[in-house]
Structure 1
């Protein structure tokens, strides 16, 4: 279901670890309908930037606002409750629970009905969970334990879990890592469709340039913690500095 438009405003983010400036003055906006790729070489500051956005790290300086509300200083749980969801490079599911139960757990958490955990998990929000699993192509495996799934299928389950939190903004940390090339393109095509259907705004990191330039609506490039380029995919691909620093001149 589509929602009214949301806007994430990131302004002048800085974060240092000792003498290393991991993020230096990063600013951007993310609005409903955006599929923004955050790319750069190893050590560019991508993971640190992600962790600053969802409250896992606090910036030394800067602002992160969701629809005008400041998120800096809030714990990750509160940021999540306000509408910033996240998927991780390494999937985070309960291996012994079924696919459906994993998604139901997110609905339960969102509804703050975690008391009596195991019994409600088998019955509460089941229809909602199955509907999401159908949308991501996993309804036929709803009763299988997550621990026996192929890695690409786990990524789809994790996407359904993220959607169960009803996010306004979705942060996807290397969503196609470990997947076969065809699976990567299919997952990002699904993500792009969900952006349109639900009015989502998505920020994702990715090393596969076919995925980035095939699906992103905008691309933001970091190098040593600084933004060196931002714009439509083709403009970023043609940027001489981006080619020198990250694409190796072969893009």
Structure 2
């Protein structure tokens, strides 16, 4: 069974149809990339999947369950983690405390704020940070971290929910090329280990073609191509509307 199924999703803002009948599925352990030019509808799709926007039409199913229109907190409870284009962490709290907060939410133990964090077992958060190469940063406030490290913290927070589906909106934006490759290689490894379905948007085509199992291409709200990275890269329409003529000579 597919982890996520999007069926004929539509969303308009005023007279502008941002997403037009988009359908796709993401399988357990798969790294599925959703790409397209700015304004193609990628973020709108993500926001419908995550419950931040309600579709005008269509359905979203998680492991066969209809989650269309559920609030983001309800979607989180069902096992959907998300990272954002601009990192979302508590800047005054340490790396460890950010992950502990996510673990508390996962276990529904958020009665207050600081008291539960201080009392909970540190070991699960420390183990997760160690897996992400962030053990040495555990005691540092997020507000002083380098941007690449913040991206790893945000990934740790999403993984603390033990998700079956991970939504990553431009996960490598603002990172240096070596950091981008390392983060996505780590994500792919975790997806395989934990059988997590990953759907990500990305403008760095090196990242997409190196790490995606399959690629979806949106243009003006319409799904115009779907397939293996090599297929999509060779698709004439995709080259025309997004990749450019450089793809024909072997570039991205």
Q: Which runs of 5+ in 1 are unaligned?
A: none
Partner of residue 77, structure 1: 73
1:123 CA drift (Å)? 3.3
| 2:196 corresponds to 1:210 | no
Which consecutive aligned stretches of 4+ in structure 1 deviate over 2 angstroms post-superposition? Answer: none
For residues 8-23 of structure 1, what are the structure 2 equivalents within 5 Å?
Answer: 8-23=4-19
TM-score (norm 2): 0.96
Partner of residue 145, structure 1: 141
1:6 CA drift (Å)? 5.4
Partner of residue 199, structure 1: 195
SS class of match (1:236): helix
* Contact 2:85 2:169 survives alignment (8 Å): yes
Change (3 A) 1:54 1:250: same
**Quick one: distance in 2 between partners of 1:122 and 1:141?**
18
**Quick one: distance in 2 between partners of 1:6 and 1:148?**
39
Q: Which runs of 5+ in 2 are unaligned?
A: 248-252
Q: Which of 169, 172, 184 is equivalent to 1:173?
A: 169
TM-score (norm 1): 0.97
Q: CA RMSD in A?
A: 0.9
**Quick one: distance in 1 between partners of 2:2 and 2:61?**
11
SS class of match (1:155): helix
* Contact 1:221 1:230 survives alignment (8 Å): yes
* CA deviation vs aligned residue, 1:121-148 (integer Å, no higher than 9, x gap): 1231410000000011001110011111
Q: Which of 55, 61, 66 is equivalent to 1:59?
A: 55
For residues 23-172 of structure 1, what are the structure 2 equivalents within 5 Å?
Answer: 23-172=19-168
* Number of aligned positions between the proteins: 247
* CA deviation vs aligned residue, 1:18-52 (integer Å, no higher than 9, x gap): 11000001000001011000000011000000000
Range moving further from structure 2, 125-134 or 110-119 = 110-119
Range moving further from structure 2, 113-122 or 130-139 = 113-122
